[in-house]
């Protein structure tokens, strides 16, 4: 099974029309990818579906500004 980062790379690459290898743990959704709030909601919905983590709460979403934030968040959810 692919690790969380590789799966996130694929989701982000598809949603933002970038190459997966351009995405790093430090990639910032707003600064590097130009994401707006709608993009972030769509990304979270994709994460919820891909990783079967249930609904991400709004306060959790506010803390997710980089790919690394999402990977760490997902790892903590998947470990529980």
CATH topology of domain 4-79: 1.10.1200
pLDDT in tens, 11-50: 999 999 999 999 999 999 999 999 999 999 999 999 999 9
Alpha helix (H) residue ranges in the chain = 4-16, 29-33, 37-51, 58-61, 67-79
Q: Of 54, 80, 56, whose CA–CA distance to 70 is shortest?
A: 56
Q: Of residues 21, 32, 36, 79, which has the active-site annotation?
A: 36
pLDDT in tens, 53-64: 999 998 998 899
Q: How confident is the model at residue 1 (pLDDT cuts 50, 70, 90)?
A: very low
| 26 is an active site residue | no
Does this model's pTM top 0.95? My answer is no
């Amino acid at each position: 099974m692919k690790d969380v980062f590789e799966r996130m790379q694929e989701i982000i690459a598809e949603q933002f029309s970038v190459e997966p290898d351009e995405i790093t743990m430090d990639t910032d959704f707003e600064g590097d990818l130009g994401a707006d709030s709608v993009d972030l909601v769509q990304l979270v919905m994709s994460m919820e579906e891909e990783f079967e983590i249930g609904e991400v709460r709004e306060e959790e979403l506010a803390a997710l500004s980089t790919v690394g934030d999402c990977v760490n968040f997902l790892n903590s959810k998947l470990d529980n």
